[in-house]
Structure 1
């Protein structure tokens, strides 16, 4: 059963049933009028009776009109029930928040706020924006002097300039930083601090012995971020969605979204009755709302203004390396002769982990176990039920397990591979793995009977020590105002809290977004800036819960492989090690 219900919206001016004849109330009114007129003429009663008569007629007419309005209200429901728009100056619809959630949302919005950037209006041009070719970074000397040691913190200062070579006076650029050693297949992400004056600090842990080379990348100039911010505010419908409505041979495909532009056309309301998550379609002209059978992605509408595309040029200002003004690398020595350098890397840093010999190692308290054989993976998941919910980056994990475990066989449920639901069973080891995509907005073609919200699915999970729940939702919501993402995560969090209350031993794993290969199109639809901001919101919302985070962002950023929407197998293998460590942390 689908999680959404349709409330009909009939065309304006319709009347409820009837054969076109005069309503009985009107016949009675007309009859009373004739009788009263005759009495007035025959008896010449005082004018006050005429006034009384007119008053009675007016009241009867008013009561009849109110009855019609009540019927029309049933045919034409309020277009946006249960949603607030005052707090969000946009044409999008938002799930209503409790006072506590509203206060929390305000705090999250403040914590993820990005510096404002002066607009590129005449006389300012693209040449006044950040230019990686004229910018540089420098490695600061070690605090206290001497040689670099494993466990130290390496600090780098980045100085941004525009295309004229003039130092920038404000911040807001999107920078990535990585420390790596190709020979050791080692890498770690740096933490970037914006000083809001055109300079940035980057802090790296030094977790391995040997050479460590700094790499700084300009992902977006601050002027491009101003464009991305405007797109989500003014053009959240630049990727459209459609509903397929069908009755016999009659088919209609109206637009659907949480951000439908106001028109006089009535809407079909497919708001989820349990979570309150909004979703609407323009009502088909000749079909009812109940005739919807599929959800699909529509087209992309270019929303950039004149010359704004110059802010997203590959090889110029889109994911371009910034050169060092001095030596780009340092040599790191071991603190103690004979000590394992990979295990000694416990430093105070924002990084969650690092690669060494191609293997992801945690910088936290819990070391990551390595499940390098089929038997090790099967032993960890024996007698387990693993439920996976989310987008295609979660589906990638489902398919990885099928490829790794030879006895894990997928059953053909005659559904699309993209959306699911999908089911795989390993009868030898008693393993069951499921996958289902999240609810709209989603850029897949999905039968409406299979559109499910993660929160509702979690409420249907019994849970327990042999149950693992994995979810991730991010890529399909990045063109919308961030409040829509925050509120979706709050809804999911509520379901997680309920699950852990009834079954505390359930293992819950959440995945954040990862950086991607960016083009002009990708920047407008799935920019790394959108992902980084949403990741901060996700971390804040699930903070303090017994939920295990797979930091896909750092695990992709720190790796030598290129950034892709769907990370390559070596990265996926390491992500699976993190998941299995969470599942089997009690096993020896």
Structure 2
């Protein structure tokens, strides 16, 4: 629907050509590519996209169909699918952006379709990115099968004057003498190599060894596979042409390189937006696991959800209205949910975050804060192993399911959960098993406190580089894990999945595992719209 009584704004578009690369650019790169590898792979500087059935004019809320053709480095059409493309539309001057309606359609023959709904008028650019080629994904899957537990974790054992550092993980080679730290309540496994002449009870500190983990993962990739993940393949200047007022920018290689097509439309204002839903967000709005539309779009840096209409609400307004008073907020998970804890604490007057234990760290917690004026408390603790973080005390590591079981909950209890990033360097089975323990804990929670609200934050996109980054923390893998979370948690009552994937994917500041406050503010506005109903 269009939220204006005015006539639909028209989008004036001239006829276009495809966003194809400059032929001289391609020919100059063919020889270099053949020297790298003879095996064809999807290449961004040869692939192109076009708008299907381009019209002279469009109306607000019309659909745009973008056809993507994958091509290899030798300028030949690909005949198989499996590439990971992302696309978005944006208008820089209006601080407006939106992503595709649903997933990009893969026809398994080298061609793809991306569909957009025109949400605002103005000069709109359409951007397509090749995140991972089919061949890169095949390489990642091979590495994951060969080395399903790819990260390295150090366990420090301390006993009297002895101190030794050993390997720890969710599984270790059977040839090693190990200490078994499987959690008795959840059954979640964790093992460390047993140091000689030291008891298992001497396990005192944990840390992620990023350097060694990256080196060992890199060694599993074949040289021809590593080349599939390079951020730049020596195309220093992208081809840029102007054809009948439509700017065409060809693909460049890697996630940071894009293809752009601009269409020119009428000047925009907030009264002529294409709003999908006029119904106010309420707790009976169950955000969908699978969507046919984008989660929403930005206009003037404000997020418009396609599920329901968000309130113009802040933490301060929620406090003044009383809807946040007397609340106890618990945050369990990774550093992306810690950002939410920090945001809330920073917005409540005279409230300061503190370390909950003597050995706590600001990165992993446990942390707490309280507001006497508002009778509010806040608590954050990182999820348990695997934790890819700085050195922390083993005594401070608690499983989220156990933490939820130990909460004395009521209608004033609100729980926030997010875990994905630290699990990407393990198998999907490890992640699914952890989600299952949390799901069971939430079902037990609802038996004793049916009015407690739980928010599950989705994964969000991030910047990264190279083969190691792609297979250990990359977006393609995060998307698989996020899909598993959505399926696992879909049927839990009073649980709301806050879909932030699109909110980082298409925002003007770019992909960031720790988004800036301008994005966090919009996350929290969704949460407050559901709390304060």
TM-score bin (small chain): 0.7 to 0.9
Cross-structure match for 2:110: 198
2:377 corresponds to which residue? 432
SS in 1 for 2:90: strand
Q: How far does residue 459 in structure 1 lie from its aligned partner after superposition?
A: 1.0
> Structure 2: how far apart are the matches of 1:356 and 1:395?
27
Shift of 1:496: 1.3
Matched, 1:342 2:273: yes
Q: 1:130 aligns with which of 15, 18, 42?
A: 42
Whether 1:385 aligns to 2:328 is yes
150, 153, 167: which one pairs with 1:255?
A: 167
The answer for the alignment partner of 1:532 in structure 2 is 479
**Structure 1 residue 268 and structure 2 residue 216: aligned?**
no
Aligned pair in 2 of structure 1 residues 383, 284: CA closer, same or farther (>3 Å)? Answer: same
TM-score by length of 2: 0.81
Q: Deviations over 1:203-255 (max 9, x none)?
A: 12222233332110011111111111122221234321122111101112221
Secondary structure of the equivalent of 1:559? Answer: coil
Unaligned runs of 5+ in 2: 1-33, 234-252, 279-290
Q: Structure 1 residue 323 and structure 2 residue 235: aligned?
A: no
Q: 1:534 and 1:208, CA in 2 relative to 1: closer, same or farther beyond 3 A?
A: same
The yes-or-no answer on 1:351 pairing with 2:294 is: yes
Q: Give, in whole Å, the separation in 1 of the partners of 2:412 and 2:177.
A: 48
Alignment of 1:234-253 (within 5 A): 234-253=146-165
Change (3 A) 1:154 1:526: same
**Match of residue 192 from structure 2:** 281
Q: Distance in 1 between matches of 2:206 and 2:37?
A: 42
Matched position secondary structure for 1:331: coil
> Per the alignment, do residues 500 and 237 of structure 1 end up closer, same or farther by CA in structure 2, a change over 3 Å counting?
same
Pick the aligned partner of 1:367 from 290, 306, 309: 309
Q: How does 1:458-473 map to 2 (within 5 A)?
A: 458-473=404-419
Structure 1 residue 495: Cα displacement:
1.1
1:25-174 equivalences in 2 (<5 Å): 125=37, 128-141=40-53, 147-174=57-84
Residue 181 in structure 1 maps to residue 91 in structure 2: yes
Decide whether the 8 Å contact of 1:150 with 1:332 is kept in 2.
no
Report how far residue 504 of structure 1 moved. Answer: 1.6
- Shift in Å at residue 560 of structure 1? 0.7
Q: How does 1:381-460 map to 2 (within 5 A)?
A: 381-413=324-356, 414=358, 415-444=360-389, 445-460=391-406
Give the deviation of 1:153 after TM superposition. 2.3
1:487 pairs, out of 408, 412, 433, with: 433
Query: Matches of 2:418 and 2:131 in 1, distance apart?
Result: 24
Q: Distance in 2 between matches of 1:126 and 1:540?
A: 40
2: CA distance between counterparts of 1:152 and 1:333?
17
CA distance in 2, matches of 1:288, 1:581: 52
Return 5+ residue gaps in structure 1 as ranges. 1-121
Q: Report Cα offsets for 1:158-214 as digits up to 9, x if no partner.
A: 001011000111111111111111122111111311111111111122222333321
Contact 1:205/1:349 (<8 A) preserved: no
* TM-score, normalising length: structure 1: 0.73
Q: Which residue of 2 aligns with 1:47?
A: none
SS at match of 2:482: helix
**Retained in 1: the 8 A contact 2:132–2:229?**
yes
Q: Contact between 1:243 and 1:254, CA under 8 Å: does it hold in 2?
A: yes
Verify: 1:294 aligned to 2:205, yes or no. yes
Moved over 4 A (4+): none
Deviation of 1:330 (Å): 5.6
Among candidates 137, 140, 144, match of residue 225 of structure 1: 137
CA deviations over 1:80-132 (Å, ceiling 9, x no partner): xxxxxxxxxxxxxxxxxxxxxxxxxxxxxxxxxxxxxxxxxx99936611111
Matched with 2:448 is: 502
CA distance in 2, matches of 1:339, 1:247: 65
CA 234–467 in structure 1, closer or farther in 2 if over 3 Å, else same:
same
Note the alpha carbon deviations across 1:45-82, whole angstroms, 9 max, x for none.
xxxxxxxxxxxxxxxxxxxxxxxxxxxxxxxxxxxxxx
CA change 1:133–1:507 in 2 (3 A) is same
Matched residue, 2:225: 308
1:49 corresponds to: none
CA apart distance, 1:377: 5.0
Rg larger in 1 or in 2? 1
Measured after TM superposition, the shift of residue 543 of structure 1 is 1.2
CA distance in 2, matches of 1:343, 1:431: 38
Task: Give the Å deviation of 1:280.
Answer: 0.9
Residue number in structure 1 paired with 2:524: 576
CA distance in 2, matches of 1:270, 1:319: 39
Whole-angstrom CA distance in 1 between matches of 2:464 and 2:393: 30
1:55 aligned residue: none
* Distance in structure 1 (CA, Å) of the matches to 2:317 and 2:431: 39
- Aligned pair in 2 of structure 1 residues 418, 430: CA closer, same or farther (>3 Å)? same
**Per-residue displacement from partner, 1:375-413 (whole Å, max 9, x unpaired)?**
445644211100000011111111122222232222343
Aligned residue pair count: 455
For the 8 Å contact 1:136–1:322, the answer to whether it is kept is: no
